[in-house]
Chain A
Amino acid sequence: MASVIGDRIPSRAKLAARDARRKLNSRLFEVWLWSMGVLITLAILAVIVTIVIKGLPAMNWEFLSTGPKEGMKEGGIWPMLRGSILLMIGTLLIVLPVGVFGGVFLAEYAGTSRLVTLVRACVVALAGTPSVIYGLFGLAVFVLLITKHTSLIAGCLTLAMFALPVIVLTTESAIKAVPESFVEAGVSLGMSKWQVIRKVILPAALPGIVTGLVLSTGRAAGEAPPILFTAGIYYSTAKLTFDLEMFKKPVANLPYHLAEGYRQGSVIPEKIIWGTCLTLMLLVLLINLAAIIVRARARKRQVW
């Protein structure tokens, strides 16, 4: 046995050469991976910077605070911005209770039976379902079946459906991240299960839940397909008011404006299109930024 191995042992010099080759090889591999990471980051930065540069000339207070005029060729995008914000708030209000309680259910009440695993898998799958499917659903149910016309509320409900699975999942994982010792402490104090959830788990998981909520509503606000058939309006001379009546009417909003802008081709000038792109991107980015700040603050306070 020993002699066999002995025959196979290469000379010292050969070994050293091979090691050097291996090291170089590995080094090159690392450089390659590094360059891919840098390349992607630079590409993403380039895209964002391009959108900012192209969009900035249109940006000013007037652009954000007035409506379009001269056949959409001039003026601002306030009605669209307002519509997007309204859609987002409406979506958040609808999805907040269902999503959070749904997450609590999956994390704490559902157990681990096969059925529940299947439900969880389905929620995961729903989170990956294309937004255009939600658009179809919204058209069939909220528009054609219930209200018979497009409206802000139909758009909010459709977007809420779209955002729901993600919120359920983030809530569930935020709750699961709460250490078991917290729950035990609660139980030892004689709390009921619901009291533990309300007084111990939910406060501890709050930053995670808020982050999930904000991120998914932000994403929903940028999606065009769900509101294409459910909520959009192109132009209105009506005064913009904030009342209940508003929910029954369709609203102008940023993604719809861009989609129609594309459909109409060259009616809306490029400058305004870029400005709208930038506004929409900033809107979503700002929301995400808020989420990141919430998360960072929570982390600082976190002691476990």
Chain B
Amino acid sequence: MTSTLIATIALAGLSPAPAFGTVAVKGSDTMLILNQRFAEAFGKKHPGIAIEVTGGGSSIGINAFINGVADICASSRPMRKSEIDRARSRGATATETPIALDGLAVIVNINNPVTSLTMDQLRRIYIGQINNWSQVGGPNQAIVVLSRDSNSGTYGFFQEKVLKNQNWGRGVRFMPSTAEEARETARTPGAIAYGGVAYFKGRDGIKIIGVAPAEGKPPVLPTEANVRNKSYPIWRYLYYYTNGRPRGEVKTFIDWCLSPEGQSVVEQVGYYSLK
């Protein structure tokens, strides 16, 4: 009993600010691997500054940020206006720093003759309006549509960017990881899937196809150059949010992330470096 009381009192009296010398990075599950790699590499270089990485989702990060308990909020989506307002009302100014560039590649089985799709065809496939490859110039074969599950930031991004916020078709199967998508696509002749380019490079049994930004425009492959100059249509930034301009240890960490050394970690994880 007493210990509960003490615990409760201690709990209520906790100062929310993390201890001196640590940087708490919270947020997006999409960026968890990137954050972890950053922390690991940074830790070797700067043993004096501890980095704590937590996942759970963009909103857990954003909420922690609003309450001032995370130094950095990692988000795979820009903050919503309502969230920025809430942060401001508690005295935090959300400052956005793009940290990496992400391009989503679309893959099909290696034996599929289709080499490109338009954004509109892709949307129709995922909302279930097109369900046979013959409708997009392929063989007469049913399309097996694969997606990431709703827990991933990639899911939301694809739904927004490609599906124009329409609902997924009934036949779409949701996979827990991009690797699983690739494996399933390699063994299913009619499959289509999407995910970060790096996951798909050099894998057997699948091929990355081009995406045409609009009807009548030439298809674009998600090469580094095409994602960089934004001619490839499915790309996004990954962000770090800080309260005001980064200062002190947070600045040291973010500066390191943006340095060539940090950006090589970005490439290693499978995203594109900013430059």
Contacts and interface: CB of A to CB of B under 8 A. Distances in A.
A117 interface: no
A239 B175 CA distance: 36
Contact of A142 (B11, B43, B55, B67): B11
A234 B11 contact: no
Interface stretch (B45-53, B128-136, B254-262): B45-53
Given A97-B3, A154-B11, A238-B22, A265 B180 contact: yes
Contacts of A294: none
A97 B4 contact: yes
Task: Identify which of A142, A151, A248 gathers the most chain B CB atoms within 10 Å of its CB.
Answer: A248
A232 B11 contact: no
A94 B4 contact: yes
Nearest to B66: A148
A93 B1 CA distance: 9
B11 A266 contact: no
B42 interface: yes
A72 interface: yes
A193 B55 CA distance: 52
Interface residues of B, number: 47
Given A94-B3, A98-B4, A153-B11, A237 B50 contact: yes
A297 interface: no
Contacts of B179: 265-266
Contact of A238 (B50, B70, B177): B50
A238 B151 CA distance: 28
B91 to A, nearest CB: 13
A71 B37 contact: yes
Contact of B19 (A93, A97, A160, A245): A245
B242 interface: no
Interface in B6-37: 7-8, 10-12, 14-16, 18-19, 22, 29, 32-33, 35-37
B255 to A, nearest CB: 17
A142 to B, nearest CB: 7
Contact of A247 (B10, B35, B40, B175): B10
Given A98-B4, A149-B16, A248-B14, A264 B51 contact: no
Contacts of A250: 52, 54
Interface of B: 1-4, 7-8, 10-12, 14-16, 18-19, 22, 29, 32-33, 35-37, 39-40, 42-43, 50-56, 60, 63-64, 67-70, 151, 175-180, 269
7 contacts: A71-B33, A153-B11, A233-B53, A234-B35, A238-B51, A264-B32, A265-B177
Given A237-B43, A245-B19, A265-B178, 9 more contacts: A69-B40, A97-B2, A149-B70, A153-B14, A229-B60, A233-B53, A249-B52, A250-B52, A264-B32
Interface of A: 69-72, 93-94, 96-98, 101, 142, 144, 146-151, 153-154, 156-157, 160, 228-229, 232-239, 245, 247-250, 260, 262-267
**9 closest A-B pairs (Cβ-Cβ)?**
A265-B177, A238-B50, A237-B43, A149-B69, A266-B179, A97-B1, A148-B67, A236-B52, A235-B53
